[in-house]
Amino acid sequence: MRQIIFLSLLFLSLLMTVKPVLGLTCDPGCHVETNNTFGSGCVQCNAAPDEWGNCPTWCSIANMWCECDDGSSGPIINCRDGYYSTPSGECRPIGSGDLPNTGGDGGCTPSCPSGVCGTIGNGCGGTCACIECDTCTPQCGQASDCGTCGTADAGTPEAPTLVVPDGTITNPSSYSLTGTNSVIDLLWSSNSDLTDYYQIYVKDSDEATVWSGAVGTTGVGSSGYTPGLYHWYVEAVNSTCTVDVGLTSANGYFVVSNSLLTLKNADEIVVPPESGNRNNICQPVFVDSSNNRRIIFEASVNSPGGWAEISGATLSWHGNDYAMSKLTGSGIGGTLVATVDFGAASNNSGVFPLSVSVSNSYGTSVNNIFGDLKVWDCQVPVSGTLYDGTGGQACNELGFMTPVDANLDFSSLVFKDVSGDSDVSMSTSLPANYGPTKITYGRTYLPIFNGGDMANPDGTIFGTGRMTRLVDLGTGATLCPSESQFNLQNNMSAYEVDPGAQVDFSFIKDQEAWFQVSGAGVKAKSWIDSGVPSTVDSSFRALSVLGTNADNGLVSFVNYKNINGFNDNSGFGLPNNWWIDRNTNDSNSYGYQYFYNNFLINNGVGVTGTDWSGKPSEGVYFVNGNLNIDSDFALDSGKTMIVVVKGKISIAESVSRIDGIYIANNGIEALGSSANQLVINGMLYSKANIRLARSFTDKMQNNTTPAVKINYQPGLIFNLPGKLMRVLSDWQEE
C-alpha cells in the first residue's frame, strides 16, 4: 500500500514538472495542482486519460489550479496562448463552452471600450488597439499615448505668390494717398500647407523698410506712405518644431502719389463731395452756375520722376474716357484738367466711380478711385397732403394724421424758386392733396398757397402755424425743416435709383368765433354752442374763467356742442371745472313786461325809447321793439344801466365795449367780424337765444383770443335803488 502511494506521488511529481511547460504560472509560494490522479480518469472533462494516466492537455489545464504553501488556493496568473483565465482561476480554451459536450458558449467575447486612451486589455487575455488622445501637433517627435509622433509638418514652406499690388519696376501699380485714405491693401496667395504665418516687408527705393508685419492671413492693410516708389515681398514661415523661413516671394512695385481730384462748376467754383465721397450734377453749386451741365475736373498728381515725365492723363467715368491735359506744375507734381459738358444722353439713375490714369516714364498706371459721380436730369416727383394740426403739432406724426377739410379753403400751391425763375405750379386734388409734380433737385423752394406771395406765403388759406414734413421715398428718412422754404438736397438722397419726395403740410385751422365769460357762469335751458378752441393757451382754455375778485361760475345745459371741435369736458371752467348737463334755470321766465310793470309802472323808474341814441346815461331804458346797439357805452364808476327790450338786441360790428345789464325777449346777438374784441361788462339775459358769434376780421386771432368777452359785474345790481333790488332778488339767480 505504501508502495502504491509512492508511485502515485511520483507520477504527480512528474506531472508537476510538465505543466509549467504549458505556460502556467502561480504566485510565489504557490504551485500548480490538479484533481486528476493516475487511473482515475478525467472525470471533470468526461474523457479518459492516456496510457500514462495523463488527461488531454485541454482537460489537464482546465482542471488545474494554484495550491499555496499556507493551504489557500490562488488563481492561475497566466494561461497559455489560446486559453483564458476564468474568475475561479481556471484556464479554458478561448471561444469554447464550459464543457465540450454541453454545446454551450461559455467562451470570452473581447471588449474594447471607446474613449479610453492608451493600450488596455480586451477582457479575454488579449489587448485592444491603442487609442490616441494626446494629439501629435506639432508633430516633432514628442511622446503620445500610443508611441511617438512623426515629423510630417516639419520643413520649409514654398514662396507665396503676390496678388496686388503686383507691378514691375518698369510698370508699377499706382496709388493716390487721398483716394485710399493713405492705406494700401497688400494681398497674396499661399503655395504651401506648411505655412503657419507670413512675414511682410515694404521698402522704399533706398531699400529702407517703411512698413512690416506678421499675419496669419493672406492679406493686410499697410500705411505710413509718402509720395515715392516702393516694392514689397512676403515670406512664408513654418513655426512647427523649429522656425523654418520659406523662400521669398517676387517683388511687387507700386508708386504712391498725392493725387487729388477736384470738381468745379462752369464758373470754376469748387463743389465739395457729399457724404460717402460722392458728387452729383444736381448739387446747387452746379445748378446755379452759368452752365449747369458742365463739370471741370482737376487732378493734382505727382511722380517720383518729376512733373516733366508726366505726358498726360485720362479721366474715366461710366465707360467713358476724357483726355486730361497738363495745366501747371513743377518739381515732382502738378495739375491736369478736363472739362466735360454732359448731355442728356449721359443721364443715368446709377452712381459710377471716377478714376484717372497717368502716362509717365513707367507707362500708364491707373490711380485709385477718387469718388463717385451721378449725372441725371435733376427732376424729382413730389406729392403731399395738407393736414389739420389744430390739436397740436410735432414732427413727425402729431398734426399729420387727419387731412384738412374744405373749411381750410385750399385751392392752389406754387413752389416758388427762391434763387431763380423756375417756379412750379403743383397739380391739386382738393380738398387736401397735391401732386405728383416734378421739381428740380438743387433748387430752394418756398411753397405759396392760394395766390399768396413771398410776404404772405399762406395766401387766403384759412389756417396758420404751417409746419412742413419731408419724407425721402427712397430711404424712408423723415425730416421737418424749421423754415417754410426748403431744398431737397438737404432733406433727401440724390443717389437712389428713383429719387422721390413726399412734402406734407400741417396747418392750425383758423377757429370760428367764440366767447368767454369771466367771473360768472353760463346757464341754458337747452343748448350751449361754445367755441373754445384747442389752440388757446391751457391757462385760460375754458368757457368760464376766473374774474376780478370772483370765481368762475357754473356751466349748465341740456345739450352742448363746441363748434371748433374741442369737446373735452375739462374745458368748461377754470380754475373750477363746474358743469352739469341739465337745466338749472328757474321755471319762471322773466321778460319785458315783467320788468316794465315792476320798474316803470309800479315804481316809476325808467324811461322809454326806440333806438340806442335815446338811451339815458344811467338807469333803466325800455324799448318796445328791437334795439340795434351801434356805438360803445361805458358807465361811470358807481353807476348802473339796465336795458330791457321787448324784441331782439343786436350789437353792431363797430362796437367794442358796452357796460350794463341787457335783457331781451327775442334774443341777443353779436355777429359779423371786427378787428377789435367786443367786451361786455355786465350781464346778458334773454327768454330766447343768445348768439355771440362775432369773429375777428383776421380769423387767426380766434385761435388764441375770444372775439366776445363778458366780464360779470355784480356791482351793477348793488348800485340799484333798494326797491329795484327787491324786484331783482329772484331774477338775478338766473
Find, among 146, 107, 150, the residue nearest to 127 by Cα.
Answer: 146
pLDDT value of position 420: 81
344 burial class (0-12, 13-18, 19+ CB within 10 angstroms)?
exposed
C-alpha cell at 574: 377754470
Find, among 248, 241, 234, 214, the residue nearest to 155 by Cα.
Answer: 241
Find, among 460, 508, 459, 454, the residue nearest to 484 by Cα.
Answer: 454
The single-letter code of the amino acid at 576 is N
Q: How far apart are CA 201 and CA 184, in angstroms?
A: 13
pLDDT value of position 240: 78
Q: What would the mean pLDDT of 207-222 be, rounded to a whole number?
A: 92
Decide if pLDDT at 264 tops 60: yes
DSSP code for 519: S
- E strands, 602-653, are 607-609, 619-623, 627-629, 641-645, 649-651
pLDDT value of position 724: 63
**Cβ atoms of residues 728 and 717 within 8 Å:** yes
pLDDT value of position 142: 61
Q: How far apart are CA 694 and CA 707, in angstroms?
A: 6
Decide if pLDDT at 596 tops 70: yes
What does the radius of gyration of the chain's CA atoms come to, in whole angstroms?
56
**Cβ atoms of residues 418 and 446 within 8 Å:** yes
Parallel/antiparallel/unpaired status of strands 244-248 and 228-238: antiparallel
Q: How far apart are CA 675 and CA 694, in angstroms?
A: 10
The single-letter code of the amino acid at 722 is G
**Mean pLDDT lowest for which of 40-54, 518-532, 545-559, 641-655?**
40-54
Q: What would the mean pLDDT of 133-151 be, rounded to a whole number?
A: 63
Q: How far apart are CA 609 and CA 364, in angstroms?
A: 109
**Cβ atoms of residues 37 and 55 within 8 Å:** no
Parallel/antiparallel/unpaired status of strands 260-264 and 312-317: unpaired
**Mean pLDDT lowest for which of 31-40, 194-203, 619-628, 685-694?**
31-40
**Mean pLDDT lowest for which of 28-32, 87-91, 220-224, 538-542?**
87-91
589 pLDDT tier (thresholds 50, 70, 90): confident
- Higher local confidence (pLDDT), 532 or 12: 532
Q: Is 234 helix (H, G, I), strand (E, B) or coil?
A: strand
Decide if pLDDT at 364 tops 70: no
Q: How far apart are CA 112 and CA 128, in angstroms?
A: 6
C-alpha cell at 638: 358807481
Decide if pLDDT at 354 tops 80: yes
The mean predicted confidence, pLDDT, of the chain is: 80
Q: Is 600 helix (H, G, I), strand (E, B) or coil?
A: helix
- Higher local confidence (pLDDT), 36 or 624: 624
* Cell 435709383 sits on residue: 497
Q: Is 721 helix (H, G, I), strand (E, B) or coil?
A: coil
C-alpha cell at 607: 324811461
Q: Is 642 helix (H, G, I), strand (E, B) or coil?
A: strand
pLDDT value of position 16: 37
Q: How far apart are CA 599 and CA 620, in angstroms?
A: 8
pLDDT value of position 59: 52
Find, among 436, 329, 441, 331, the residue nearest to 377 by Cα.
Answer: 441
* Cell 452729383 sits on residue: 280
Q: Dump pLDDT digits (tens) for 269-300.
A: 999 888 888 999 999 999 989 999 999 999 88
In this structure, how many other beta carbons lie within 10 angstroms of the beta carbon of residue 734?
A: 15
568 pLDDT tier (thresholds 50, 70, 90): confident
In terms of average pLDDT, the best of 21-30, 256-265, 303-312, 418-427 is 418-427
Find, among 452, 483, 470, 494, the residue nearest to 382 by Cα.
Answer: 470
Ramachandran angles phi, psi of 11, nearest 5°:
-65, -40
State the DSSP H helix or E strand holding residue 602, giving kind and residue range, or none if neither. Answer: helix 602-603
Q: Terminus-to-terminus CA distance in the chain, angstroms?
A: 156
Q: Dump pLDDT digits (tens) for 82-138.
A: 555 555 555 556 555 443 333 333 456 777 777 677 677 777 767 777 776 665 655
370 burial class (0-12, 13-18, 19+ CB within 10 angstroms)?
buried
Decide if pLDDT at 530 tops 70: yes
C-alpha cell at 422: 423756375
Q: Dump pLDDT digits (tens) for 683-724.
A: 888 888 888 889 998 888 888 899 999 999 887 877 776 656
Apex 103 CA angle, 100 and 104, nearest 5: 100
Decide if pLDDT at 418 tops 60: yes
Q: How far apart are CA 659 and CA 640, in angstroms?
A: 8
pLDDT value of position 688: 86
pLDDT value of position 382: 97
377 burial class (0-12, 13-18, 19+ CB within 10 angstroms)?
middle
485 burial class (0-12, 13-18, 19+ CB within 10 angstroms)?
middle
Q: Is 50 helix (H, G, I), strand (E, B) or coil?
A: coil
Decide if pLDDT at 168 tops 50: yes
pLDDT above 70: percentage of residues in the chain: 76
Q: DSSP assignment of 189-214, as one string?
A: E---TT--EEEEEEEETT--EEEEEE
320 pLDDT tier (thresholds 50, 70, 90): very high
Q: Dump pLDDT digits (tens) for 169-206.
A: 877 887 766 544 568 899 999 988 889 899 999 998 88
47 CB-near residues (< 8 Å, 6+ apart): 41, 55, 56, 59
DSSP code for 250: P
DSSP code for 598: I
247 alpha-carbon distance from chain centroid: 51
Q: How far apart are CA 295 and CA 324, in angstroms?
A: 13
- Higher local confidence (pLDDT), 371 or 215: 215
**Mean pLDDT lowest for which of 165-179, 190-204, 428-442, 589-603?**
165-179
**Cβ atoms of residues 219 and 188 within 8 Å:** yes
State the DSSP H helix or E strand holding residue 715, giving kind and residue range, or none if neither. Answer: helix 715-718
Q: How far apart are CA 692 and CA 513, in angstroms?
A: 8
Apex 325 CA angle, 321 and 326, nearest 5: 145
**Cβ atoms of residues 215 and 235 within 8 Å:** no
**Cβ atoms of residues 492 and 472 within 8 Å:** yes
9 pLDDT tier (thresholds 50, 70, 90): very low
Decide if pLDDT at 7 tops 90: no
Q: What would the mean pLDDT of 428-437 be, rounded to a whole number?
A: 96
Ramachandran angles phi, psi of 147, nearest 5°:
145, -130
Find, among 528, 527, 504, 503, the residue nearest to 514 by Cα.
Answer: 528
130 burial class (0-12, 13-18, 19+ CB within 10 angstroms)?
middle
Parallel/antiparallel/unpaired status of strands 544-545 and 515-518: parallel
- E strands, 379-532, are 379-388, 413-417, 424-425, 428-429, 433-440, 444-449, 463-472, 478-479, 486-487, 501-509, 515-518, 522-523, 527-530
Q: What would the mean pLDDT of 339-350 be, rounded to a whole number?
A: 95
pLDDT value of position 279: 94
Q: Is 161 helix (H, G, I), strand (E, B) or coil?
A: strand
Decide if pLDDT at 472 tops 50: yes
Q: Is 360 helix (H, G, I), strand (E, B) or coil?
A: strand
In terms of average pLDDT, the best of 252-261, 516-525, 654-663, 697-706 is 654-663
pLDDT value of position 347: 95
52 pLDDT tier (thresholds 50, 70, 90): low
